[in-house]
Amino acid sequence: MNQHLVASSADKESSSHRVDDAWEFLDRHRDAALNVDMRLLRRRIDWRLVPLMFLCYTMQFLDKVILNYSNVMGIQQDLNLQGNDFSNIATFLFVGLLCFEIPNIYFLQMMPAAKWLGVNVILWGIATACGAAAHNYQTLLVSRVFLGIFEATIAPSLSLISSQWYTKSEQAPRFSFWLLGVGVGQIIGGLVSFGFQHMSPNAPLAGWRTMFLVLGATTMLIGTATLVFIPDTPMKARWLSDGEKVALLKHISVNQTGIQSRKFRFQEIVEAFKDPQLYLMLLAVLLVSVSSGVVTTYSSTLIRNLGYEPRQAALMNMPSGAVTIFFTLLVGFGVRKTSHRWAWILACIIPAIIGGGLMSFLPASNHAGILAGVYLVNAVIAPLSVFYAWTVANFGGATKRAFGIAIVSGSFSVGNIIGPQTFQARDAPDYRPAKLAVMGTQAGCAVVTFSLFLYYAWCNKKRGLEKHVTEEAYLSPEMWANMTDRENKKFRYSY
């Protein structure tokens, strides 16, 4: 009998040495969940987490896009920028972001995602404020590179935090809510730029410098709130009872992607490099992000080149935010209700292709048509939330998932590096090659997205039909083991 107990103990230890941290909590509080209303619990979690996540994403977009608005506020003249200096400054922010994506994997594995996010939000707020002190091309470039380095964690951190609290189907609208920060940032950015352009010419600081300072300070406050109020994991949420924590963990156990594991497994990165989904996802996000780079950096310039004054250009860019908000909400709730992520991505890409066509082929005198094109291109921002949620849902294993998110976020940076570089000084004021690039890259993204759907459908068919299971069936230590999507034969890909 003693031998049997020893063997049983050894088996349990063997099966759980790679088990996610949530299993230990569930094992201690297995019977704690009593009469928990998941709808009410989800609502409480939403109000605690989503507003701060939304504010973080809003500020990361605003802190990037103020360079766009400062371009119509005299920054080129004040800093004596020549030729392609402005495009290079926009590009190197994403170079900094790209360079830090890989180190970011390690920190996200070793530190709580919420804490790592809060620290970086504070640091990029400082970098934004430091841009106000720039006095030439080099100093502004340095501040923007550091902004990119600290912003590198925003999408991976928010993605991992979302995966800790919601099931795969619930993640889509939450991803959309925090990605709404882009649309809201476009609207607020236009108002902020318009307001700071009314500063007195005799003020101690130019309007664009004051704008950098104010937004940088606001970002630091939001970063501090993130550090204090977002829990490291559901298990450490002081505002949840043990019963509510157990109910939540049982509810999201069907994801089969875990909550938190501090074990870094290099073999998972090797597996990711052998996984076709990584390359398809990377290419799709890269292509869709070329237009995102255009929107972030040059939309105000394109509008101003239609003959509008700087103040008018800032206000005329605000409808871009409304388009972004509409399509982001559309895909978020569409995926929640009907799944078919690939189809909702295509539903956003088609209007963006039409927008690129309007910008490229309408005569310069057709201001209304070109403006409509500039606005429609913003539909392409919405698919980013779907791609992020798709990555979190389909990359199993803590290390592989963190690596996948970092690579996808890095491909977003590459696209944003390419986007501003399509705007060359020699092509001003029409920038027709850049407009044609919008059309071509979006069409390419549509093809790759459909290929990704076919790949996932093929993988699921090979694994057989998914059997209906209850939450209780996922409470064995084996089901909380830190396995990748390829190691776990019960894993099914979402599409």
| pLDDT tens, residue by residue, 233-258 | 888 889 988 888 888 887 777 766 66
**According to the model, what pLDDT value does residue 14 have?**
40
Tokens encoding 182: 């882009």
Q: What is the dihedral angle through the alpha carbons of 339, 341, 342, 343, rounded to the nearest 10 degrees?
A: 60
Confidence at 480, pLDDT banded by 50, 70, 90:
low
**According to the model, what pLDDT value does residue 126 have?**
95
Residue 295 has pLDDT above 70, yes or no: no
Q: Is 471 within 8 Å of 26 (Cβ atoms)? A: no
Per-residue pLDDT tens for 300-325?
Answer: 677 777 777 767 776 777 788 888 88
**According to the model, what pLDDT value does residue 16 have?**
43
Residue 456, C-beta contacts closer than 8 angstroms, at least 6 positions apart? 277, 394, 493, 494, 495
Q: Work out the percent of the chain whose per-residue pLDDT is above 70.
A: 85
Count of helix runs (H) and strand runs (E) in the chain: 21, 0
Distance, CA of 31 to CA of 27 (rounded, Å): 9
Can you give the length of the chain in residues? 495
Residue 9 has pLDDT above 60, yes or no: no
Q: Is 148 within 8 Å of 96 (Cβ atoms)? A: yes
Top-confidence residue, 443 or 8 = 443
Q: Which residues of 133-146 are buried (b: 16+ CB within 10 A; e: fewer)?
A: ebeebeebbbbbbb
**According to the model, what pLDDT value does residue 7 have?**
36
Residue 216 has pLDDT above 80, yes or no: yes
Residue 471, C-beta contacts closer than 8 angstroms, at least 6 positions apart? 250, 251, 253, 254
Per-residue pLDDT tens for 132-179?
Answer: 998 898 999 999 999 999 998 888 899 888 888 888 878 878 888 888
Residue type present at position 460: N
Distance, CA of 81 to CA of 101 (rounded, Å): 29
Confidence at 2, pLDDT banded by 50, 70, 90:
very low
Distance, CA of 356 to CA of 19 (rounded, Å): 49
**According to the model, what pLDDT value does residue 217 have?**
95
Confidence at 15, pLDDT banded by 50, 70, 90:
very low
Q: Work out the percent of the chain whose per-residue pLDDT is above 90.
A: 18
Residue 220 has pLDDT above 90, yes or no: yes
| Burial bucket for residue 297 (CB in 10 Å: 0-12, 13-18, 19+) | buried
CB count in 10 Å sphere of residue 468: 6
Confidence at 4, pLDDT banded by 50, 70, 90:
very low
Mean pLDDT score, 101-123: 87
Residue type present at position 225: A
Residue 451 has pLDDT above 90, yes or no: yes
**According to the model, what pLDDT value does residue 75 have?**
85
Residue 225 has pLDDT above 80, yes or no: yes
Top-confidence residue, 284 or 295 = 284
Confidence at 281, pLDDT banded by 50, 70, 90:
very high
Least confident of 134-138, 252-256, 259-263, 490-494: 259-263
Tokens encoding 477: 């230590």
Residue 263 has pLDDT above 80, yes or no: no
Confidence at 454, pLDDT banded by 50, 70, 90:
very high
Residue 8 has pLDDT above 50, yes or no: no
Q: Specify the 3-state DSSP secondary structure of 441.
A: helix
Least confident of 6-20, 47-61, 102-116, 411-425: 6-20
Mean pLDDT score, 264-275: 86
> What is the 8-class DSSP label of residue 488?
-
Residue 444, C-beta contacts closer than 8 angstroms, at least 6 positions apart? 287
**According to the model, what pLDDT value does residue 120 have?**
95
Q: What is the pTM of this model?
A: 0.79
